[in-house]
């Protein structure tokens, strides 16, 4: 069997100019980055401001296995199928982070015959967005420490600096560090730590900003730490929002590439899906909507995290109007939710499969609660048996749920035609009553309760003493009207990764809150969230190489 890299390398790409030519983009509105990548200027959105938006389709999934259920692959495949059906289509995805690429996870560019290309460039430095975010994040850190070193006019308490440095790598040795050592000429010693770049609030900001002005306004609101009297110190207090916005000038422009079948693909921004909202940039989604009649996009992890945040945070920030949701399921994940161990997921187990459908049922209810039409996509694996597929078909039929089997990995767009037809039909026939689950004016606790009970199915929410105190403080700081960004395990509907299926009668524990005031949300942590991954014993990096002509090998 060919690897993803081999399939991607064998694909015949169109020059990016040719993709551009198929869209309503003026010459002065784009710039090439190599032969197959482009950046689009924000002026395009101003010009097309009054145009109708294309139909926005969100791809999400049930709670995944550690290997993932192929959500990106289904997103690409559905886009390709819509194109095959003659629809003017674009897709919008997150851009991959180098750390996971070099660790374990593999790329985030789809797979098989449903990939975005050039995959090796997208998975490595791409158009430099993430590097620009790293530099901007760390410039702010250097400016903070320099501010303190040069007299500390803003009176930041060095023990209460919350802004961390970042690298776009899995580097556990940087999780907890002490900086500023070496005496009076090197600064003020203090405890510090590094996150992976995609966990930077600047990544979340870039992905929620609507314009350069909005970008700068959001940057200025970042809380970098506190004074001794507990009052927050912001970027505006340091007066550096201008230079930070300047460093992000090109990074804010959405990137355009293509799928293996020539569908325009916006790949832009990639915030964490736990301590951030986990979707590609709002500007990319909006731009895709102005340029295509159907836009397929994706949110991180399962519907309890990614879709909830897409609908409550991102859609609200950008006035998005989603028209349908695709919920991806696999027999593997369903069997896992039915109690099967990781190493037995490829074996037929109809009882477990049937049991595990409870997880799908809950995510369906969640999407219904947002007032949105949906289709379940069963992403086919070669180990699926006919009996297994029938169990799922019967289950859906009994409940009048639209189901489509997709074989987009093996067959490209052709393998998504059934799904595309059902999605088109849903959009044409079913009335949309989309609304976020909570109003912003609700209290922080009301908002958290709504998500925990209506999306996760929890019976109660418990707050730690720290969380209680923070809720009071945050409300006093005037942050009470922001949406909530839940940080929870992706593996379970609950906050316990081993509670599979559809847990009931459980408690969600809010341990701590974190302000992401620039991004425009309050993060509620239900457990320890690792914002700096580590490398495994045999990192994927060890297999990567280039030959004498610069050709890449070993990248997936």
Which residues does the annotation place in the binding site? 65-72
- Residue 173 touching a second copy (CB under 8 A): yes
Closest CB to a second copy among 152 and 425? Answer: 152
Q: Are strands 374-379 and 322-329 parallel, antiparallel or unpaired?
A: parallel
Q: What residues numbered 386-405 form the site for a second copy, per CB under 8 A?
A: none
Q: Map residues 515-544 to x or -, x wherever contact with a second copy holds by CB under 8 A.
A: -------------------xxxx-x-xxxx
Q: Map residues 242-271 to x or -, x wherever contact with a second copy holds by CB under 8 A.
A: xx-xxx-xx-x-------------------
What torsion, rounded to 10 degrees, do the Cα atoms 198, 200, 205, 207 define?
Answer: 0
- Residue 157 touching a second copy (CB under 8 A): no
DSSP state for residue 549 in the 8-state scheme: T
Closest CB to a second copy among 125 and 462? Answer: 125
Q: What residues numbered 11-40 form the site for a second copy, per CB under 8 A?
A: 31-35, 39
Closest CB to a second copy among 102 and 517? Answer: 102
Active-site residue (options: 37, 94, 290, 332)? 94
Q: What residues numbered 41-70 form the site for a second copy, per CB under 8 A?
A: 41-43
- Residue 226 touching a second copy (CB under 8 A): no
Least spacing, CB of residue 341 vs a second copy, in Å: 25
- Residue 181 touching a second copy (CB under 8 A): yes
Residue 452 and residue 484: Cα distance in Å, rounded? 11
Known catalytic membership, residue 73: yes
State which of residues 13, 85, 104, 139 lies at the interface with a second copy (CB under 8 A): 139
Least spacing, CB of residue 372 vs a second copy, in Å: 34
Per-residue tokens: 325:
């949701």
Contact between residue 306 and residue 299 where contact means Cβ atoms under 8 Å apart: yes
Active-site residue (options: 301, 310, 479, 556)? 301
Number of residues that bind a second copy (CB under 8 A): 81
Phi, psi of 9 (to 5 degrees): -70, -30
Give one DSSP letter per residue of 40-101, joined into a string.
E-THHHHHTTTSPPPEEEEEEESSPPTT---HHHHHHHHHHHHHHTT--EEEEEPPPPHHHH
Least spacing, CB of residue 162 vs a second copy, in Å: 15
Residue 65 and residue 302: Cα distance in Å, rounded? 10
Among 445, 335, 413, smallest CA distance to 78 is for 413
Least spacing, CB of residue 14 vs a second copy, in Å: 15
Give one DSSP letter per residue of 381-445, joined into a string.
-TT--HHHHHHHHHHHHHTT--EEEE-HHHHGGGGGHHHHHHHHHHHHHSPP----SS-TTS-HH
Longest dimension (CA), the chain: 73
Contacting range for a second copy; rule: CB under 8 A; set: 140-148, 276-284, 327-335, 429-437: 140-148
Active-site residue (options: 47, 149, 154, 381)? 381
Contact between residue 280 and residue 267 where contact means Cβ atoms under 8 Å apart: yes
- Residue 159 touching a second copy (CB under 8 A): no
Least spacing, CB of residue 42 vs a second copy, in Å: 7
State which of residues 18, 67, 125, 342 lies at the interface with a second copy (CB under 8 A): 125
Q: What residues numbered 296-335 form the site for a second copy, per CB under 8 A?
A: none
Gyration radius from the chain CA atoms = 23
Contacting range for a second copy; rule: CB under 8 A; set: 209-217, 312-320, 400-408, 409-417: 209-217
Among 253, 255, 262, smallest CA distance to 19 is for 262
Residues 6+ apart with CB under 8 A from 16: 32, 35, 36, 37, 38, 256, 257, 258
Contacting range for a second copy; rule: CB under 8 A; set: 106-114, 168-176, 308-316, 391-399: 168-176
Active-site residue (options: 9, 73, 285, 407)? 73
Residues annotated as catalytic are 71, 73, 94, 105, 273, 301, 381, 409
């Amino acid at each position: 069997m060919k690897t993803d890299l081999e399939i991607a390398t064998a694909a015949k790409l169109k020059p990016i100019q040719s993709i551009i030519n198929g869209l309503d983009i003026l010459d002065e509105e784009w710039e090439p980055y190599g032969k197959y990548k482009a950046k689009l200027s924000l002026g395009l959105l101003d010009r097309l401001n009054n145009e109708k938006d294309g139909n926005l389709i969100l791809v999400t999934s049930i709670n995944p296995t550690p290997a993932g259920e192929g959500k990106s692959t289904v997103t690409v495949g559905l886009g390709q199928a819509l194109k095959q059906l003659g629809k003017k289509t674009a897709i919008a995805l997150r851009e991959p982070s180098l750390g996971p690429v070099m660790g374990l996870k593999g790329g985030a560019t789809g797979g098989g015959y449903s990939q975005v290309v050039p995959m090796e460039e997208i998975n490595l430095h791409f158009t430099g967005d993430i590097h620009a975010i790293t530099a901007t994040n760390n410039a702010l850190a250097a400016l903070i420490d320099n501010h303190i070193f040069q007299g500390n006019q803003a009176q930041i308490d060095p023990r209460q600096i919350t802004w961390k440095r970042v690298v776009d790598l899995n580097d556990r040795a940087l999780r907890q560090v002490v900086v500023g050592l070496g005496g009076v000429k090197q600064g003020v010693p203090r405890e510090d730590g590094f996150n992976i770049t995609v966990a930077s609030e600047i990544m979340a900001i870039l992905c929620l900003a609507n314009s350069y002005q909005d970008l700068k306004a959001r940057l200025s609101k970042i809380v970098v730490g506190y004074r001794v009297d507990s009052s927050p110190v912001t970027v505006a207090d340091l007066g550096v929002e201008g230079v930070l916005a300047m460093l992000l000038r090109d990074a804010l422009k959405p990137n355009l590439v293509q799928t293996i079948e020539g569908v325009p693909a916006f790949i832009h921004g990639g915030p964490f899906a736990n301590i951030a909202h986990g979707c590609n940039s709002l500007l990319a989604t909006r731009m895709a909507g102005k340029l295509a009649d159907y836009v397929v996009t994706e949110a991180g992890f399962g519907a309890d995290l990614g879709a909830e945040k897409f609908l409550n945070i991102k859609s609200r920030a950008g006035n998005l109007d989603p028209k349908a949701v695709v919920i991806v399921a696999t027999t593997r994940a369903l069997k896992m939710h039915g109690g099967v161990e990781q190493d037995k997921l490829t074996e037929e187990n109809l009882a477990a499969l049937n049991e595990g459908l409870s997880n799908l049922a809950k995510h369906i209810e969640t999407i219904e609660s947002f007032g949105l039409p949906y289709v379940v996509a069963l992403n086919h694996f070669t180990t699926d048996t006919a009996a297994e597929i029938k169990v799922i078909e019967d289950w859906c039929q009994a409940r009048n749920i639209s189901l489509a089997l997709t074989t987009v990995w093996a067959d490209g767009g052709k393998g998504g035609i059934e799904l595309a037809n059902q999605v088109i039909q849903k959009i044409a026939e079913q009335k949309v009553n989309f609304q976020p689950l909570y109003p912003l004016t609700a209290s922080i606790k009301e908002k958290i309760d709504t998500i925990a009970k209506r999306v996760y199915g929890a019976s109660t929410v418990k707050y730690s003493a720290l969380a209680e105190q923070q809720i009071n403080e945050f409300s006093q700081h005037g942050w009470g009207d922001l949406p909530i960004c839940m940080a929870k395990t992706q593996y379970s509907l609950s906050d316990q990764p081993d509670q599979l299926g559809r847990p009931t009668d459980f408690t969600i524990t809010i341990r701590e809150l974190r302000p992401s005031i620039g991004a425009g949300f309050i993060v509620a942590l239900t457990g320890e969230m690792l914002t700096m991954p580590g490398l495994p014993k045999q990192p994927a990096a060890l297999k990567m190489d280039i030959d004498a002509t610069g050709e890449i090998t070993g990248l997936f």
